[in-house]
Amino acid sequence: MFIPRLSNRVLGAVTTACVSLAALPAAYAQSPLAGGAPNATGLAPAVRVSSPIGTVDFQKSSVPPLPHPEAIFDDPWGWNTWLRQHGVAILFDNTNEFAGAITSPTKGLGLRQGSSNAGQYGFETDIDWERLAGIKGFSTHSIMVGRYGIPASRMFGDNLNPSQEIYGAGGNVVVHLVYIYGEETLFNGHLDIAAGRIPLLTDFSSNPLYCNFMNNAFCGNPKASSDNTSHSSYPDANWAARIRVRPSQYTYIQAGVYFNAMGIYGVKQYRTGFKWNGGDINGEAAPVEFGWEPIFGKDKLPGHYKLGGVVDTAPHPDFLYDVNDNPWVVTGQPRKIHNNSWSAWALADQMIMRHKGNGPDAGITLLGVFYNNSPVTQTRERQYSLGILDRGFWKSRPLDAWGMNFSYVQVSKKVKTAQQIQQGLGYSTLINGAFFPQTNGMVVEAMYQMRVWRGVTFAPDFQYFIRPGAQRGLKDAAVLGFKSHIEIF
């Protein structure tokens, strides 16, 4: 929900692995990162350690400042101030996403025109153990959530770009543990090490700006990033360790190892998130990411540019061939297994203009994504995205924002070929639950985000799906809805 998701925060994220997921809404406690995305529960932690050198005050503690987003109950009876003075931050919030199709679906396939609601409540704790117990540079982070609902896009046949990202993988339980890990920050932020239960995509190939949007193509990571199950994503985590080095004020390099477990998104092993059995580990994912975070001109326009990649040793079934290199959909033989896979990405966001006098986050920011996956083991071979976010353009409402984002997804030719064979054999439902062979598809989203009150945002949202689920046989679909976020404390 909170996501997710995370520019430099990305980096910092494991440092607070939440990315996923999602609610960028509450727009107040600004971050020195991604052009000033607003903080929300599960997001701010990711910002703390990934902030460029020079933007964080390490005078009171070697641990970066604890997250402190704007909230409805900011400091009742002074308890919040007292806790923070002793190095403890407690946050509680809710993100809700509603969407409904305003166009009719393709006939004759059992699809329907309808609406649905999805949401998440989250409880986060961040502890600065240097302040609390004198352990220099050490902090711990945890998040627990409860999730409900499904995305409306399933009703008209889209299974690649869910209209609501804040759904699923929560185990259908009241309390699901997202992550819990320890973190050591050294040398005034030049070195940061984290280890524990951490989602890979909280730190890598993410950006908190993405979750100003609601579609899962954008929030909390580019959707192509989670095609590979060894790339754990919020709200599920693996045993992991991550190290980040900042050789200069505006650069970083980070790497990690994430131990993949069988059935990570299955109910049996990960329903509550509290089952930490290492006996299910069947491979490792090793991501690396390089970042450049410049600030341009007299207006100090921030940007974030990331190049990264990941390889893994987990077992992946081939989409097309069986163990004898024949199409498995014809022979019925077990699929060939590849004990490796890879992904690569380039992400960028750049503020190009400031709205002076409307706050440090006020301005126009451009967003760009390129993601490339192994076509042998992953459905989405490529994803391209381009967007714009404009916050603080209205002087009387400096915390409001509007944005538009576009995503194009290209499906692996192996997937398409296997589906074409299935179609020729008379299958009614193909791989990935598709009705027609998948090729490429697009989604466009536009939103207006309003600050309703302290800690409360509401964002009307419009989405348009071109070739839903990358299936040429499905009618385009239009969706209306909203995304709300309430930071309670």
SS3 assignment for the chain: CCECCCCHHHHHHHCCCCECCCCCCCCCCECCCCCCCECCCCCHHHHHCCCCCCCCCCCCCCCCCCCCCCCCCCCHHHHHHHHHHCCEEEEEEEEEEEEEECCCCCCCCCCCCCEEEEEEEEEEEEEEHHHHHCCCCEEEEEEEEEEEECCHHHHHCCCCCCCCCCCCCCCCCCCEEEEEEEEEEEHHHCEEEEEEEECHHHHCCCCHHHHHCCCCCCCCCCHHHHCCCCCCCCCCCEEEEEEEEEEECCEEEEEEEEEEECCCCCHHHHCCCCCCCHHHEEEEEEEEEEEECCEECCCCEEEEEEEEEEEECCCEEEEEEECCCCEHHHHCCCEEEECCEEEEEEEEEEEEEECCCCCCCCEEEEEEEEEEECCCCCCEEEEEEEEEEEECCCCCCCCCEEEEEEEEEEECHHHHHHHHHHHHCCCCCCHHHCCCCECEEEEEEEEEEEEEECCEEEEEEEEEEECHHHECCCCCEEEEEEEEEEECC
Domain ranges for the chain, please list them.
8-487
Based on its alpha-carbon atoms, the radius of gyration of the chain, rounded to whole angstroms, reads: 22
What are the residues facing 115 on neighbouring strands?
A: 100
Tokens of 23: 């609610």
Token pair 């391209």 is found at 384
Which pTM was predicted? 0.87
Please name the residues in contact with 82: beta carbons below 8 A apart, sequence gap of 6 or more: none
How far is it, in rounded angstroms, from Cα 16 to Cα 69? 15
What are the residues facing 404 on neighbouring strands?
A: 388, 446
How far is it, in rounded angstroms, from Cα 448 to Cα 452? 12
* Backbone angles phi and psi of 443, in degrees to 5: -140, 140
Are 34 and 209 spatial neighbours (Cβ–Cβ below 8 Å)? yes
Tokens of 75: 């400091």
* Backbone angles phi and psi of 172, in degrees to 5: 55, 40
Tokens of 6: 């995370």
Token pair 């046949």 is found at 157
Q: Which residues of the chain have pLDDT under 50?
A: 1-50
pLDDT at 276: 84
Neighbour tally for 171: CB within 10 Å: 22
Please state which of the four CATH numbers 3.10.20.30, 3.20.20.70, 2.40.160.180, 2.30.40.10 is assigned to the domain occupying 8-487.
Answer: 2.40.160.180
